[in-house]
Structure 1
Amino acid sequence: MDLDAYVLAHAHEWQRLDQLVRSRRLSGAESDELVERYQQVATHLSVVRTSAPDASLVAHLSSLLARSRNRAVGTRVGSWRGVQSFFVERFPAALYRLRWWWLGCFAANVVVTAVMMWWLLDNPQVEQSLLSPSEVDQLVNEDFEGYYSEYAASHFAAQVWVNNAWVAALCIALGILGFPVVTLLFQNILNLAVIGSVMMRHDRGELFWGLILPHGLLELTAVFVAGGVGLRLFWSWIEPRGLTRTQSIAREGRTAATVSLGLVVVLAVSGVIEAFVTPSGLPTAARVGIGILAELTFFAYVFVLGRNAVHRGFTGDLDATLLEDRVATQA
């Protein structure tokens, strides 16, 4: 196909569609014309992709079609209805569909943490090689407990949220590479195992678990979810499951983006708990109970809302109407 000739033949139709999209108000006839032009240009895009895939022209027509679609059906992404759909359908559906990945990540990290704690408790010489006696005394008697009340609660909540959101984002962003996710998760649980073993060896286990569990249950679950989703993204190009590798990575990448946005809220909740509940004067049982309740609420969200959303056809991917236009053409 002669691309220059094709562009010359149809450029006026593309310009007209652009004019309709930019118009502040459309009459009934113009609205009908917008839909008709949209269909024409979608066909043109398909022809260009098939016969003469020029990257700049494909990008231009795709952008034009996206703006046309939003003008035709109304912009839904920024609406409250879109936000509701995200948290009731897309996010829980993504969590449920990918549940075996992040549950496996969850279980593996819990087991490895428990084994490391047991080994460290059984090998006190390792602690001595990592920390001096004065550092151990500082950690056990002051630093660990003081960490949760060192800053104003609101400032601490923001600090915790940013830190954990960054770790979760790295797990997803580096997921395509696979190994960096494992490294990030190991570093995370190594710190937990070392500090936990030190506290328990010095008879401060009750304090350790009483301060970790209220926020840590939900916080670590969110990090393990990010790790599992990141590893699924890595696996999407190893085993594309009937799709091309590009299609497989694109689908799982969009789902990973859905999960990362949702985890921002989950980590915000854990940050609030860490700032306002963990250091509070509530009895240890009450604080841990709040943490368990938050964790159970998350699992109910996934396995009730998520399962129902999946049964209704949601996967965590973008709605089909928001994906790239694909129009079949005849030769």
Structure 2
Amino acid sequence: MDVEAVVAAHREEWARLDELGRKRRLTGTEAEEMLDLYQRAASHLSLVQSTSADPVLTQYLSTIIARARVKSSRDFRADPGAFARFFLETFPAICYRAWRWWAGVGVAFVVLTALVAWWTATHPGFVSSVLSPEEISQLTRHDFEDYYSSYAAQDFAFRVWTNNAWVAALCITLGALGFPIPLLLWSNIVNTGVSAGLMASDDRLSLFFGLILPHGMLELTSIFVAAGIGLRGFWSWIEPGPRSRADAFAAEMRTAFTAAMGLVAVLALCGFIEAFVTPSGLPTPVRLLIGFTAWCSFIAYVVILGRRAVAAGVTGDVDARLREDELVAG
């Protein structure tokens, strides 16, 4: 390799990177410029190290790259608008981009749950072979309703939040494999459907909906979102489009784990509703209205802010400064 030719071709880029790395503050445009120059310089350093033994050039490039890395990381952590951008752009963009996936999951969940409930209500012989009449009566007349007031509200909210966050995390994490997600959702379908069928057979279906819908509309939607995003990540491995499978899968799973942080906040709200609204003494229509308002607010949040963010080019992928170094041809 002709070291002098490489130096002549890229001297100005390196000098500019050195200049930006030494600046006290960077504008947004300068930060993007420094990131691009940093990636280019990293590829140049790799080339120099593999084809030349010039210690001076190697040390120079290593120094300006290290300075740029530190500068970029410091500026990113100090960004006061990152939190707001996450909830106003990044998170809704991820949810909006995957809406067909999680809407499909939601429709399938509701349909299958209704079928399980219908089958349970119309086949009492099967239910009685598993549970005694006393156990069924205990479940429908006491246990189902008492569940929501069996703990102190704040403790119950925390239990619900952590449990749902765990389910959502499993849906996202298992997106790499795909098939565990339907299996995970099926257990919830069976539990919900059987409970609904038993309550219907005891003429207490209105109580069932009065207790499960205030928090369940938003809670289940959050789980659907997690499952849909996880399945989208799995599909990116099967059908990567113009990208390589590795690049497509990495990008989708980065956005998936980013979405998990937003879902934690949504599920915290679900836990609050389930602990403080569902078992409260408020009239059932009021509790349903609160749950429906929370659900509609989330859907509007995703559609309005998510569509706007996607139109502006937001993908939900993590900031390039937090990704693995990329080698860019110089």
TM-score grouping bracket, smaller chain normalisation: 0.7 to 0.9
Decide whether the 8 Å contact of 2:91 with 2:316 is kept in 1. Answer: yes
Match of 1:116 in 2: 116
Q: 1:203 to 1:101 in 2, by over 3 A?
A: same
CA distance in 1 between partners of 2:254 and 2:228 (Å): 15
2:75 is paired with a residue of what secondary structure? Answer: coil
2:148 is paired with a residue of what secondary structure? Answer: coil
Q: 1:43 to 1:153 in 2, by over 3 A?
A: same
What letter corresponds to residue 282 of structure 1 in structure 2?
Answer: L
Match of 1:235 in 2: 235
Match of 1:203 in 2: 203
Q: Deviations over 1:14-44 (max 9, x none)?
A: xxx9xx98xxxx677xxxxxx9998776445
Match of 2:153 in 1: 153
Match of 2:127 in 1: 127
CA distance in 2 between partners of 1:67 and 1:268 (Å): 40
Q: 1:120 to 1:37 in 2, by over 3 A?
A: closer
Q: Deviations over 1:251-303 (max 9, x none)?
A: 00111012111100110000000000000000000001111101100100010
> How many residues are treated as equivalent by the alignment?
297
Q: Deviations over 1:93-129 (max 9, x none)?
A: 0000111111111111111111111122121122113
1:174 is paired with a residue of what secondary structure? Answer: helix
Alignment of 1:136-215 (within 5 A): 136-215=136-215
1:224 is paired with a residue of what secondary structure? Answer: helix
Q: Which of residues 43, 56, 60 is equivalent to 1:46?
A: 43
Decide whether the 8 Å contact of 1:177 with 1:234 is kept in 2. Answer: yes
Match of 1:82 in 2: 82
Match of 1:31 in 2: none
Q: Percent identity?
A: 51
Match of 2:222 in 1: 222
More divergent stretch after superposition (163-172 vs 114-123): 114-123
Match of 1:318 in 2: 318
Decide whether the 8 Å contact of 1:171 with 1:226 is kept in 2. Answer: yes
CA distance in 2 between partners of 1:264 and 1:320 (Å): 23
What is the TM-score of this pair, normalised by structure 1?
0.81
Decide whether the 8 Å contact of 2:214 with 2:292 is kept in 1. Answer: yes
Q: 1:246 to 1:288 in 2, by over 3 A?
A: same
What letter corresponds to residue 45 of structure 1 in structure 2?
Answer: A
CA distance in 1 between partners of 2:66 and 2:277 (Å): 45
Gaps of 5+ in 1: 2-16, 29-34, 54-60
What letter corresponds to residue 260 of structure 1 in structure 2?
Answer: A
Decide whether the 8 Å contact of 2:113 with 2:192 is kept in 1. Answer: yes
CA distance in 2 between partners of 1:315 and 1:218 (Å): 24
Decide whether the 8 Å contact of 2:226 with 2:260 is kept in 1. Answer: yes
CA distance in 2 between partners of 1:320 and 1:297 (Å): 31
CA distance in 2 between partners of 1:67 and 1:279 (Å): 57
What letter corresponds to residue 236 of structure 1 in structure 2?
Answer: S
Decide whether the 8 Å contact of 2:72 with 2:321 is kept in 1. Answer: no
What letter corresponds to residue 311 of structure 1 in structure 2?
Answer: A
Decide whether the 8 Å contact of 1:171 with 1:227 is kept in 2. Answer: yes
How big is the alpha-carbon RMSD for the aligned residues of Structure 1 and Structure 2? 3.1
1:240 is paired with a residue of what secondary structure? Answer: coil
What is the TM-score of this pair, normalised by structure 2?
0.81
Decide whether the 8 Å contact of 1:77 with 1:83 is kept in 2. Answer: no
How much has 1:144 moved relative to structure 2?
Answer: 0.8
How much has 1:48 moved relative to structure 2?
Answer: 6.3
Match of 2:4 in 1: none
